[in-house]
Chains A and B, each alone.
Chain A
């Protein structure tokens, strides 16, 4: 009780704070329209965002932006509570993987007509971002963040093992043989690592491989699983060969240790995103993901874009919120935020600006590769409300293969059955 009691107390305090925040949000006293923005930025990002919000307040006299920090992981739960209570935020930062479910919330504002305006210049956003912001032809948010996966490798370990560093022409066979050479059971050194907590993090790494092998997650009308295919088997077999046959993969079942071990020189290569670069403490290089030889799909990656979602609190506040997100996601602000934080530019015009690329890469070497890699994001995850179920099924299939408990084909069959069942029952 003392332990769970502490938890209950925290929940209580959180609930009270939420209620207080709800009461205080919004309104248009003193002629200004106040809008509340929920976001989860901390540290450098938090300061950069506050600076942008202040700039907005200064240049838009009729609007007052109030920021409420909320942990991104729990943002949807909190937003749902607030929606039920009738006091949603005006703008919230929500993960892209939630988009199909966010689209079901009635108070979410349809931004389809907004993004068609010249001021927004919608096609300047990367296609992966636009895909995630759009559910059933309805735009439910503005792109807030974009990232992708690439190889981050320890230069020292490559040199010691006498392995040539990854090139843009690398295949998964090259990746596998390098991982094997970097593995040393005696010193407990692993070639690579894989996040194996069966979460979406486990899944999207594999989805990129599936696409590279020429496969698809679902069929074209999103009614059936399509990953139980030769391409799916190829991608699953790669994992099995490395983790089970070669034992060159550190299978991180709690998805919490890979970075510490990489920094300790125990892991040669990671496939990870730009957010990890600032944590790396060893001499490192960055290279795009390998491809499958003979596959026309070539080098791909996967983006995990997130969205700024606008909620309906009356027309005045909706208008103010639209003005804010349009301004926030416009090229000058995207540039300012990317330069300050190292987050990848969400707009093509900024991401192809040589001076931006140079400044960002000087600050955090390797970012250049990630920015270029945005053009390797050619597909998006299917926008279906049952995606969490599909993700869970695939997550367990992948972990089963990595731990040697399931054969690649059995894993695909199981996940495919679960996916088809979820798609047909709709829940």
Chain B
């Protein structure tokens, strides 16, 4: 240690600089940055910049066509409360999220529990459960449009066969949103299955065995041991699916285009319509920021509430 000090003080400034450089280039820091830089630049250019740009846009009157984009202060935001269609869009988005998130998680958990065992050909079943994630949204949309076709679709044919009343589905303002819920639950179940399956395999066997020896029934074990240990996965899914549900767009765009009679107009579809069909880009940007704040608040609440019951198995 003592000998190190004279060496350092004897060294000339240039040598020290190269020493520093060498130390930096040889460190994990440099390697880390080298790996991260390309992605960071891409995210900054294609993610961060547009986010800031659209904040600016939300204070301007812009039709995307003319170069004049005068600042209008909070005018775009003030317009929001009086917009009846936007209010409808919020209602639809809430109804959709409240149905879609729990449904996907419940179906996902049931399937994951069924797949969490050693039987012949289990990998085939697991792949089958995940396959819905590999189907592109447009194929999914076309399939569901035909399944729920009122006159010729399979769903009504089955209901008819069972003697149950048939629906008008995507042609009915009262039912279209529920068809979209069904469609997206189907599409996202594979995702929930994978997350729950991974979490299920992390549940220690000893605990379950100990409980079984103590005479607990399988359902009690699941309810009191397995499910609490799955809580990190549950919280993650609740947050993740909610964020995606609030941003629903693809399925609506591909099937109903917000109809019939605005019954499936959700927030993101409405702001797309405002920006690119009606050329009110400034207003659409303001809507996007309102949505952003709503998602932020909901996610914050989910984490706060979630942390109370989430059990991290450390």
A binding-site residues for B, Cβ under 8 Å: 1-4, 7, 11-12, 15, 77, 80, 84, 101-102, 104-106, 188, 196-199, 250-251, 253-254, 256-257, 261, 266, 385, 388-389, 392, 396, 399-400, 403, 405, 427
- B197 CB to closest chain A CB, in angstroms? 15
Q: How far is B151's CA from A2's CA once the two chains are assembled, in angstroms? A: 35
Selected from B65, B256, B277, the residue in CB contact (under 8 A) with A197 is B256
Q: How far is B133's CA from A256's CA once the two chains are assembled, in angstroms? A: 24
Q: How far is B153's CA from A102's CA once the two chains are assembled, in angstroms? A: 41
Which residues in window 187-239 of B have CB below 8 A to A?
187-188, 191
Contact yes or no, B187 A3, CB < 8 A: yes
Check B244 for interface membership: any CB of A closer than 8 A: yes
> Which segment of B10-18, B23-31, B117-125, B259-267 sits at the interface?
B259-267
Known: A188-B152, A250-B151. A399 touches B260 (CB 8 A): yes
Output the nearest chain B residue to A7 by Cβ-Cβ distance: B250
- A224 CB to closest chain B CB, in angstroms? 20
Contact yes or no, B278 A254, CB < 8 A: no
Known: A7-B250, A12-B42, A253-B171. A101 touches B259 (CB 8 A): no
List of A residues within 8 angstroms of B247 by Cβ: 4
List of B residues within 8 angstroms of A12 by Cβ: 42, 46
Q: How far is B173's CA from A250's CA once the two chains are assembled, in angstroms? A: 16
B binding-site residues for A, Cβ under 8 Å: 42, 46, 63-67, 133, 137, 142, 145-146, 149, 151-152, 170-173, 187-188, 191, 240, 244, 247, 250, 255-262, 273, 276-280
- A200 CB to closest chain B CB, in angstroms? 10
| Most chain A CB within a 10 A radius of its CB, from B146, B191, B247, B259 | B259
List of B residues within 8 angstroms of A400 by Cβ: 261
Selected from B67, B187, B257, B280, the residue in CB contact (under 8 A) with A199 is B257
List of B residues within 8 angstroms of A1 by Cβ: 240, 244
**Chief secondary structure at chain B's binding surface:** loop
Q: How far is B256's CA from A198's CA once the two chains are assembled, in angstroms? A: 9
Selected from B171, B255, B260, B279, the residue in CB contact (under 8 A) with A198 is B260
Output the nearest chain A residue to B151 by Cβ-Cβ distance: A188
Q: How far is B244's CA from A291's CA once the two chains are assembled, in angstroms? A: 50
List of A residues within 8 angstroms of B250 by Cβ: 3, 7
Q: How far is B250's CA from A396's CA once the two chains are assembled, in angstroms? A: 21
Q: What are 11 pairs between A and B in contact, CB < 8 Å? A: A1-B244, A12-B46, A15-B46, A253-B170, A253-B259, A256-B142, A256-B145, A385-B279, A392-B277, A396-B261, A396-B262
Q: How far is B63's CA from A104's CA once the two chains are assembled, in angstroms? A: 9
Selected from B173, B187, B244, B256, the residue in CB contact (under 8 A) with A254 is B256
Output the nearest chain A residue to B280 by Cβ-Cβ distance: A427
List of B residues within 8 angstroms of A101 by Cβ: 63, 65, 279
Output the nearest chain B residue to A255 by Cβ-Cβ distance: B257
- A9 CB to closest chain B CB, in angstroms? 10
Contact yes or no, B256 A253, CB < 8 A: yes
- A226 CB to closest chain B CB, in angstroms? 22
